[in-house]
Amino acid sequence: MMGGSSGILWMGLFVLVLWSSSHGSVEGEEYMKYKDPIIPVSVRVKDLLSRMSLEEKIGQMVQIDRSVATPAVMKEYYIGSVLSGGGSTPLPQASAADWVNMVNDFQKGSLSTRLGIPMIYGIDAVHGHNNVFNATIFPHNIGLGATRDPELLRRIGDATALEVRATGIPYVFAPCIAVCRDPRWGRCYESYSEDPKIVQEMTDIILGLQGEIPNGSQKGVPYIGGKDKVAACAKHFVGDGGTTKGINENNTLIDTHGLLSIHMPAYYDSIIKGVSTVMISYSSWNGKKMHANREMITDFLKDKLKFKGFVISDWEGIDRITTPPHSNYTYSVEASILAGIDMESVMIPWKYTEFIDDLTYLVKNKFIPMNRIDDAVERILLVKFTLGLFENPLADLSLVNEVGKQEHRNLAREAVRKTLVLLKNGKSETDPLIPLTKKVPKILVAGSHADNLGYQCGGWTINWQGFSGNNYTRGTTILAAINSTVDKDTKVVYLENPDSQFVKSNNFNYAIVVVGEPPYTETAGDGQNLTMLDPGPSAINNVCGFIKCVVVIISGRPIVIEPYMSSIDALVAAWLPGTEGQGVTDVLFGDYEFTGKLPRTWFRTVDQLPINFGDSHYDPLFPFGFGLTTHQSIVSRSTSSGFLGRPRSYTSMIFIFVLIGLYFQGKLLTGELRY
């Protein structure tokens, strides 16, 4: 039996051996703090940074498109991030498992590097997981702004995060918190409202995407609450919704007070809510490109607002610092990095070696100081550690059934109901058309958007510019929703553009005309006329001129409608509702009330643009915040018999007459009404 002191010595040596083995590394006996999940993230970041070469640091600052990524490229160039641009998928109609396998293949390349730093995969999930076949497509932001419901936004963020994580992806380029001040802008539907207060409230989607930030958390520090959450991205910093004439990527002419009071407030909220990344805008502020604006990115966003996450460029955003783009690329790299951009979504997706070579040259020749590189890499590593990528770099298949699941579709359907804005209901207040009656002999459905899922979803859906038709993802068109909602004995007739003679000769009880804009994204959506897609006007004229009709507008913004108002009985702004068309019929047929309010001003003519609430000469067709409601007391019309829901019995008619009599008696007694 060994002595007491000898036993203690051997026990100490035994503990030391155990500690060494548990903290060992690929570099012999050295303990690597950055690999220890118990160590504070800030310490892990500093430790890893101290071990990295310039080549490894610059690699972390690069984001490339999946189309040029391979495990070998990830390993050779130490690539820090990969993304899917709009429509960039592993294969057509790829399953969640296909996505997981692709992401993991790239990740294995990153993990095989000397330090094993995981890459971060990003994707546009701007209204649900919109690149992915069968995913739930939620309404675009303009519709969500009509809900005035931040709690709904949290739930949408939560569902979107689950569907994104189900495909092995931990990072989304959302939300867009632009304040669109001119509907001629092709990205206006990506903006929640013309009102910065509403946009601020809608940043609660970040709490759904990333998780509720704990009480006492340091402001400005990214927070991601587990393996079912994703890193979010507030974009596009800053002023992208205020460009002259709404021209995409153009110049925002506004003084500092205007920029800070209109376009900046949602960034304050996003940072307080722990947003992980901020994407820079293509646009300029008073002539200076945002991608080269050190005063706004470094001095304001990082230093004044204390944002600690990383700043990412937009797709090839640094190329566009010069005119023409890419005409002096070395200068653009220098200007953007010195301005404070940390990850060049270089997006030079197909030119990553040029970026790496130029940045290496600029650092080695002291045009860019090493502390600027270290700042960028620290921020990128902070987000990666916060995401848990070092502990769980590879995705599994445990969440694949989250994509497009019914619970999420039900949530999207609820969101659609709340986005709808009732602009007109009957040619007089005493003769409302909505709620529509479910049980009538025959209904006409017309319009280019009634049976087109792609039009219903808009841009940023499956493909960058969206699609037309019903074959590219799963969902319910408005026509299908009508067919499943009306009484089984009601005949529904659909013609995209019926002629007036057909309408007059078929004894329809009423018509639903669904018209609007085609899908578009970014510059392709810029427009000066804002008219509906043909044959929308003729469909309205041919139908609404002869029978009672409700017109449903599917659009990413207000469009020209005033010339048709006199013939329209009821008018609904449905924005871009996404895959769940039954949310539209839920409200049209009175199962739920209209609650949506206009998130932006509806102009009379395009000559008024830009027009926003508070302007000195404010004379809109429908003002900001406008929205009629329907009352639950008349929902019974949706199931009653007869033309447009006459009362079921004489009892209800007597009740109505009694109320009218009491009303006039009260007027007589108070002297307000005289013979």
Q: Mind listing the pLDDT tens digit for each residue in 163-182?
A: 999 999 999 999 999 999 99
Catalytic hit among 158, 314, 580, 586: 314
Whether pLDDT at 657 is above 90: no
DSSP alpha helix (H) spans, 340-389: 352-364, 370-387
CB-CB contact of 261 with 208 (8 Å): no
Query: 661: part of which helix (H) or strand (E)?
Result: helix 650-670
Half-sphere exposure of 522 (CA within 13 A, CB side): 13
Q: If you average pLDDT over residues 382-398, what whole number do you get? A: 98
- List phi, psi (to 5°) of 425: -145, 85
CA distance 324 to 296: 24
Beta bridge partners of 65: 83
Residue carrying structure tokens 């995409």: 248
- Residues 248-298 pLDDT 10s: 999 999 999 999 999 999 999 999 999 999 999 999 999 999 999 999 999
Whether pLDDT at 67 is above 70: yes
Q: What is the pLDDT of residue 430?
A: 87
Residues in the chain: 675
Whether pLDDT at 245 is above 90: yes
Q: What is the pLDDT of residue 143?
A: 99
405: buried, middle or exposed (CB in 10 Å: 19+, 13-18, 0-12)? middle
Among 61-75, 345-359, 393-407, 479-493, the range scoring the smallest mean pLDDT is: 345-359
* Predicted model pTM: 0.90
Among 1-15, 171-185, 294-308, 577-591, the range scoring the smallest mean pLDDT is: 1-15
- Residues 483-533 pLDDT 10s: 999 999 999 999 999 999 999 999 999 999 999 999 999 999 999 999 999
Query: Catalytic: 402?
Result: no
CA distance 45 to 51: 10
Task: Read off the pLDDT band of 351 (50, 70, 90).
Answer: confident
CA distance 328 to 165: 39
User: Minimal CA–CA distance to 296: which of 248, 253, 258, 259?
Assistant: 259
CA angle 174/175/176 to nearest 5° reads: 110
C-alpha to C-alpha distances, 148 to 8, 47, 144, 151, nearest whole angstrom: 68, 45, 7, 9
Tokens representing residue 269 in the block: 């909220």
Catalytic hit among 56, 269, 522, 580: 522
DSSP alpha helix (H) spans, 499-588: 500-505, 536-544, 582-588
DSSP state of 296: I
User: Minimal CA–CA distance to 225: which of 158, 127, 169?
Assistant: 158
Q: What is the pLDDT of residue 542?
A: 97
Query: Catalytic: 314?
Result: yes
Q: What is the pLDDT of residue 30?
A: 76
Q: What is the pLDDT of residue 484?
A: 98
How far is C-alpha 104 from the chain's CA centre?
Answer: 25
Beta bridge partners of 28: 25
Task: Read off the pLDDT band of 556 (50, 70, 90).
Answer: very high
Residue 172 has a CB neighbour count (10 Å cut-off) of 25
Q: What is the pLDDT of residue 86?
A: 87
Whether pLDDT at 429 is above 90: no
CA distance 599 to 143: 8
Between 429 and 404, name the one with better pLDDT: 404
Among 227-241, 397-411, 600-614, 652-666, the range scoring the smallest mean pLDDT is: 652-666
- List phi, psi (to 5°) of 382: -55, -45
C-alpha to C-alpha distances, 39 to 45, 50, 359, 429, 491, nearest whole angstrom: 10, 16, 32, 67, 68
